[in-house]
Amino acid sequence: MVKRIASILIVDDELSVRDSLYEWFRKDGHHVTTVANASAALKAMQEQRFDVALLDIKMPGMDGMELQAQTRKIDPDMEVIMITAFASVETAVKALKQGAFDYVTKPIDPDELSHLVHRALEKRRLEHENIRMRDQIDGLVAVDKIVGESPPMQKVLEMVGHVAKTDATVLIRGESGTGKELIARAIHANSARRYFPIVPVNCGSFAEGLLESELFGHERGAFTGAQYRRKGKIEMADGGTLFLDEIGSISPKMQVDLLRVLETKEFMRVGGNRSISSDFRVICASNENLELKVADGEFREDLYYRINVFSIEAPPLRTRGSDIPLLARHFLVRLSRQMDKKITEISPEAMQLLMAHDWPGNVRELSNAIERAMVVGTPPAIRPEDLPVVAAAGGVAGGGDSLADIEKRHIADVLARTDWNITRTAEVLGIDRATVYNKIKKYGLRR
């Protein structure tokens, strides 16, 4: 057992009790202060902090109960143990209601006293540790800063601030690459759920059956290959936030299932027969026109209203050109640190190029452009020739003539042209979105 040294305040009008407790706790190595009355106790508390106080209830002048109430005002963190020679249920209840750690009757069993003080100190230690850990978690979960001083971004930040304090379902809309997940993470990080996880699911990247299993989990043997029971993302998000990206891409059946879960917060694993509840907040994102999909009958109206309680529009980068220098420098600083490369500036000519571009791939495209420039560029500054928007288009790796090589090159080419917009890539290639994701994975393609 690790020995913890504490500072203990003993308040008792009987000298023999004060002396006994003083000697007793000193032998444990504690710092002990003894006083004979309430006013001396309050004075001592003004001068130093105590971890634990043992207060006699019956004292001339201000009694222990009143003193306990006063000590809460000076140091609410101090643990108070009430001691009395006359046991009474009423006073015990009152003391505990006032926030005392415990209540004991004199004479006290040595084992009981020792455990009582140990438990009080342990409680105090755990509370302090809890505060420290929360501070650490706050630091760890701090999301990437949303960079932007333009009016459209200021409006977004203001809305994030408002909605984070509520538990409302949020729909974030915007073009691909505008930072919808960053906004979702900012809402989560500023919400009361921030100590629990935010669980992102890209609904567009799964075929229907797989998305069901991904969200709800499955029991062992639920389908071929389900060798183990697996928790779904909804279960993992218990206490936290479920972020459903590309919500517009889910199938009609999945829409029904999801609506039911959002309304009841209960679900069953695939192949299971037990209802599981999960307390989670939902944030959805889409780059599609959901109203149009509702009008076309592709998206359920009831689900649309269920997820669109609060809507935030992530503005495209071309509408907030004044943020481009800020964002470019933000990425430069971050990447320079990550790569340990001493490129610390963007030349005026390069910045002019960045400002002139219309960024169809939005912030993600800008981030990629800076990353590439950091890779190919040399210190101290990014120059126009380092930027992909002006650099000659490079070939895609894998120059063979096999069917797979050609497919890989073609998919990479279409992805580059659509700036990795999966929906558009799927349309161009004439395949579904899940297949696009599978091909990306198969060929190891990267942005």
Partner 1 sequence: MSVLRLVPIYCGSQVDMLASLASRLEQTFGLHPVQHPPGFDPEQAYESSRGQYNSRVLLDLLRRELPGGEGRVLGVTSIDLFIPVLTFVFGEAQLSGRAAVVSTHRLDPTHYGLPADRDALFERLCKESIHELGHTFRLLHCADDRCVMTSSMYVDGIDIKGSRLCDGCLQLLRAANG
Which parts of this chain interact with partner 1 (CB under 8 A)? 1-3, 14, 16-17, 19-21, 23-24, 26-29, 83, 106-111, 113-114
- Across 203-342, the runs of DSSP E, i.e. the strands, are 217-218, 230-231, 241-245, 266-268, 275-277, 281-286, 310-313
- The residue (of 52 and 113) whose beta carbon lies closer to partner 1 is 113
Minimum CB distance to partner 1, residue 88 (Å): 19
Minimum CB distance to partner 1, residue 27 (Å): 6
Minimum CB distance to partner 1, residue 154 (Å): 57
> Which of 243, 126, 232 is CA-nearest to residue 180?
243
Minimum CB distance to partner 1, residue 281 (Å): 46
- The residue (of 11 and 363) whose beta carbon lies closer to partner 1 is 11
- The residue (of 3 and 446) whose beta carbon lies closer to partner 1 is 3
Minimum CB distance to partner 1, residue 134 (Å): 29
Minimum CB distance to partner 1, residue 87 (Å): 14
| C-alpha distance from residue 202 to each of 153, 211, 262, 372 (Å) | 24, 9, 17, 26
- The residue (of 24 and 310) whose beta carbon lies closer to partner 1 is 24
- Please check whether residue 145 is in contact with residue 182, taking contact to mean a CB–CB distance below 8 angstroms: no
- The residue (of 108 and 389) whose beta carbon lies closer to partner 1 is 108
* Distance of alpha carbon 74 from alpha carbon 69, whole angstroms: 9
- The residue (of 118 and 265) whose beta carbon lies closer to partner 1 is 118
* Distance of alpha carbon 172 from alpha carbon 169, whole angstroms: 10
Helix, strand, or coil here: 244? strand
- The residue (of 109 and 302) whose beta carbon lies closer to partner 1 is 109
Minimum CB distance to partner 1, residue 110 (Å): 5
- The residue (of 20 and 438) whose beta carbon lies closer to partner 1 is 20
The dihedral through the CA atoms of 408, 411, 417, 419 has a sign that is negative
Token pair of 317, please? 């980068």
What does residue 415 show for φ and ψ, rounded to 5 degrees?
A: -60, -40
Minimum CB distance to partner 1, residue 119 (Å): 14
Q: Which residues of 160-186 are buried (b: 16+ CB within 10 A; e: fewer)?
A: beebbeeeebbbbbbbbbbbbbbbbbb
Q: Which residues of 299-313 are buried (b: 16+ CB within 10 A; e: fewer)?
A: bbeebbebbbebebb
* Distance of alpha carbon 149 from alpha carbon 159, whole angstroms: 14
Pairing of strands 266-268, 275-277: antiparallel
- The residue (of 106 and 125) whose beta carbon lies closer to partner 1 is 106
166 CB-near residues (< 8 Å, 6+ apart): 310
Minimum CB distance to partner 1, residue 91 (Å): 18
